[in-house]
């Protein structure tokens, strides 16, 4: 479009265009003036498209008009050349891809928010579970808090409420069960062992993801991808080695959380691949949380009883947190839980399950390091070595993902 507008031909007559009416009367010269207005040339007249007759000057005005006209024509020609040289074809921008840069920045920003919310969730959640050792009740409270936020979101029309069909509900229900078990088992592990040990065991998620993606999504990772996961898991294990307080209940619950969480993620990826218009990633997480609250609330009362009476809250206050602090931290943990789960699903919709699991593994390193600083845990050289090894594994993974397997040549 720019080339069409500003490209001027040098062969176009700028003066003395052919008179469209040679037999007509000559233009009057009494209207000729030396003002700047009489020297204005339209773009159409420069191309010979004007229907006006040529203007002839005589006497002293003739020399003046010829000099000025020659200067103007020369200036127009130079401008024409400059505009033609400065105009850039529209297709030359194909080599620059700002959309890819924006997508990368957006993805990096979302990963950063995901990590920050996880840090605060783990700190607040550990503080609550330390003085209030009822993981099922705490998990049910978190599900209930998120369900309330989802209801307000739908009621205020800030997000469209989905219309769930029976077929969709049947497909979502197994995800809700895995979602419930994964969060419950994680809270059980956090209540029994240190944060660093729980996340050390949960660093095995990429391996579960590789296996489940191959079985469910038929995604066959290359040997390079599988090999790049080894330093990631090993690095996270080394980073938290000095903080290990081994407990079999915490160990088994964390391993079971790996299986259930990655089953949920892989099945969610399969469900979102169907591109249901009324059930995107945010609505999927919202429906999962509501179903999880309905499933877990009676189970928590059955397993642990009614543990939110004033007497139990006061017993928690005697261990370091008063009732107000306990409630505030529980609400903040629920808010961070809701937010980081939503961001996690948004990231899962943008990347593959393996990439999501690797980002989750790096998140373990961030959470472990932050918990070390917050709880003032002594840092050993093994922690630093493990963190560096895990980050190096992420770089190797990104390189391994770029290596495409060679296609098998068909026999002639």
pLDDT per position as a tens digit, 350-368: 887 767 767 877 887 888 8
Q: Is the pLDDT of residue 142 over 50?
A: yes
Question: In this predicted model, what pLDDT tens digit does every residue of 236-286 receive, in sequence order?
Answer: 778 767 666 667 788 889 889 989 988 887 877 776 666 554 567 788 888
Q: HEC profile for 244-264?
A: CCCCHHHHHHHHHHHHHHHHH
Q: Provide the pLDDT confidence category of residue 8 given band limits of 50, 70 and 90.
A: very low
pLDDT score at 186: 92
pLDDT at 406: 65
- Does residue 27 carry a pLDDT above 60? no
**DSSP strand E in 79-210: where?**
none
CA distances from 200 to 203, 237, 240, 297 (A): 5, 5, 6, 29
Q: Torsion-angle region of residue 219: left (phi > 0), alpha (psi -120 to 50) or beta? A: beta
| E strand residue ranges, 160-205 | none
Q: Distances from the Cα of 77 to the Cαs of 10, 60, 65, in angstroms?
A: 6, 26, 18
Number of H helices, E strands in the chain: 15, 0
Helix (H, G, I), strand (E, B) or coil at 26: coil
Domain ranges in the chain are: 2-88, 97-402
3-state secondary structure 391-403: HHHHHHHHHHHHC
What integer is the mean pLDDT of 296-309? 87
DSSP 287-324: HHHHHHHHHHHHHHHHHH----SHHHHHHHHTTT--HH
Rounded to whole angstroms, the Cα distance separating 213 from 209 reads 6
User: Distance of alpha carbon 314 from its chain centroid, rounded?
Assistant: 42
**Contact between residue 262 and residue 191 where contact means Cβ atoms under 8 Å apart:** no
> pLDDT at position 81, please?
39
Are 333 and 124 contacting, i.e. CB atoms less than 8 angstroms apart?
Answer: yes
CB 199 within 8 A of CB 245: no
List the alpha helices (DSSP H) in 318-352. 323-350
Distance CA 143, CA 132 (A): 17
* pTM of the shown model: 0.65
Q: Is the confidence at residue 90, as pLDDT, over 70?
A: no
Place of tokens 């991808």: 225
The answer, yes or no, to whether residue 99 has pLDDT greater than 50, is yes
C-alpha count within 13 angstroms, C-beta hemisphere, residue 207: 12
Please report which confidence band the pLDDT of residue 401 belongs to, taking 50, 70 and 90 as the band edges.
Answer: low
| Mean of pLDDT values over 324-335 | 90
Please report which residue ranges of 34-58 form alpha helices under DSSP H.
43-46
Greater model confidence, 207 or 160: 160
Q: Which two tokens stand for residue 83?
A: 């505009």
Residue 158, CB-side half-sphere exposure with 13 Å CA sphere: 7
């Amino acid at each position: 479009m720019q080339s069409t507008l500003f490209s001027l031909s040098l062969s176009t007559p700028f003066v003395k265009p052919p008179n469209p009416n040679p037999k007509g009367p000559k233009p009057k010269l009494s209207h000729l003036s030396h003002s700047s207005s009489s020297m204005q040339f339209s773009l159409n007249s420069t191309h010979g498209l004007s229907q006006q007759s040529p203007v002839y000057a005589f006497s002293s005005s003739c020399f003046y008009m010829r000099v000025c006209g020659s200067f103007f024509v020369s200036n127009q020609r130079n401008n024409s050349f400059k505009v033609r040289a400065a105009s850039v074809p529209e297709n030359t921008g194909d080599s620059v891809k700002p959309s890819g840069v924006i997508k990368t920045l957006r993805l990096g920003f979302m990963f950063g928010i995901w990590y920050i919310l996880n840090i605060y969730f783990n700190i607040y959640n550990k503080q609550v579970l330390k003085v209030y050792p009822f993981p099922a009740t705490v998990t049910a409270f978190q599900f209930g808090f998120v369900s309330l936020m989802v209801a307000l979101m739908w009621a205020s029309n800030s997000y469209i409420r989905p219309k769930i069909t029976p077929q969709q509900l049947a497909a979502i229900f197994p995800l809700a069960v895995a979602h419930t078990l994964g969060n419950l088992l994680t809270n059980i592990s956090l209540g029994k062992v240190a944060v660093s040990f729980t996340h050390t065991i949960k660093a095995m998620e990429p391996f579960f993801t590789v296996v489940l993606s191959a079985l469910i999504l038929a995604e066959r990772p290359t040997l390079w991808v599988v090999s790049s996961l080894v330093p990631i898991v090993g690095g996270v294990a080394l980073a938290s080695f000095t903080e290990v307080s081994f407990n079999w209940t915490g160990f088994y619950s964390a391993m079971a959380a790996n299986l259930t969480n990655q089953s949920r993620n892989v099945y969610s990826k399969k469900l979102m691949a169907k591109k249901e218009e009324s059930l995107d990633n945010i609505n999927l997480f919202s429906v999962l949380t509501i179903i999880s609250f309905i499933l877990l609330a009676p189970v928590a009362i059955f397993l642990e009883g009614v543990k939110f009476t004033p007497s139990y809250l006061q017993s928690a206050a005697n261990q370091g947190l008063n009732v107000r602090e306990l409630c505030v931290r529980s609400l903040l943990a629920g808010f961070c839980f809701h937010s980081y789960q939503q961001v996690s699903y948004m990231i899962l919709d943008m990347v593959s399950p393996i990439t999501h699991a690797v980002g989750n593994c790096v998140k373990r390193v961030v959470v472990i390091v932050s918990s070390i600083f917050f709880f003032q845990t002594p840092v050993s050289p093994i922690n630093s070595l493990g963190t560096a090894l895990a980050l190096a594994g992420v770089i190797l993974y990104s390189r391994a993902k770029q290596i495409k397997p060679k296609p098998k040549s068909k026999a002639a």
